[in-house]
Amino acid sequence: MSQPLSGRHVAVLLGGLSSEREVSLVSGAACADALERLGARVSRVDAGRDVAQVLAKLRPEVCFNALHGAWGEDGCVQGVLETLAIPYTHCDVLASALAMDKAKAKAVLAAAGVLVPGGGLYDRHEVARDHVMPPPYVVKANAEGSSVGVYIVRERANRPPQEVIEPSWTYGERVMVEPFIRGKELAVGVMDGRAMTVTEILTEREFYDYDAKYAAGGSSHVVPADLPPHVFEKAMRMSEAAHAALGCRGVTRSDLRYDDINDILVLLEVNTQPGMTPTSLVPEQAAHQGVDFDSLVLWITEDAYARGGAGGIADTAETPGQGAP
pLDDT, tens digit (0-9, with 9 covering 90-100), for 191-233: 999 999 999 999 765 544 444 444 555 679 999 999 999 999 9
pLDDT, tens digit (0-9, with 9 covering 90-100), for 110-140: 999 999 999 999 999 999 999 999 999 999 9
Helices (H) and strands (E) in the chain, counts: 10, 12
pLDDT, tens digit (0-9, with 9 covering 90-100), for 233-288: 999 999 999 999 999 999 999 999 999 999 999 999 999 999 998 779 999 999 99
Exposure string over 28-59, b if 16+ CB within 10 A, otherwise e: bbbbbbbbbebbbebbbbbbeeebeeebeeee
Higher-confidence residue: 310 or 79?
79
If you average pLDDT over residues 134-156, what whole number do you get? 82
Closest CA to 141 of 159, 160, 164: 164
If you average pLDDT over residues 292-317, what whole number do you get? 75
Query: Cα(269)–Cα(290) distance, rounded to whole angstroms?
Result: 26
Give the mean pLDDT of the chain.
Answer: 89
* For residue 313, pLDDT beyond 60: no
Provide DSSP, 184-221: EEEEEEEETTEEEEEEEEE-SSSSS-HHHHHSTTS-EE
Asked if residue 306 lies in contact with residue 312, where contact means CB atoms within 8 angstroms, the answer is: yes
Exposure string over 109-120, b if 16+ CB within 10 A, otherwise e: beeeebebbebe
Where residue 306 falls among pLDDT bands split at 50, 70, 90? confident
pLDDT, tens digit (0-9, with 9 covering 90-100), for 77-93: 999 999 999 999 999 99
* For residue 76, pLDDT beyond 60: yes
If you average pLDDT over residues 90-104, what whole number do you get? 95
Catalytic residues: 20, 146, 214, 253, 255, 269, 271, 275
pLDDT of residue 130: 94
pLDDT of residue 155: 87
pLDDT of residue 148: 66
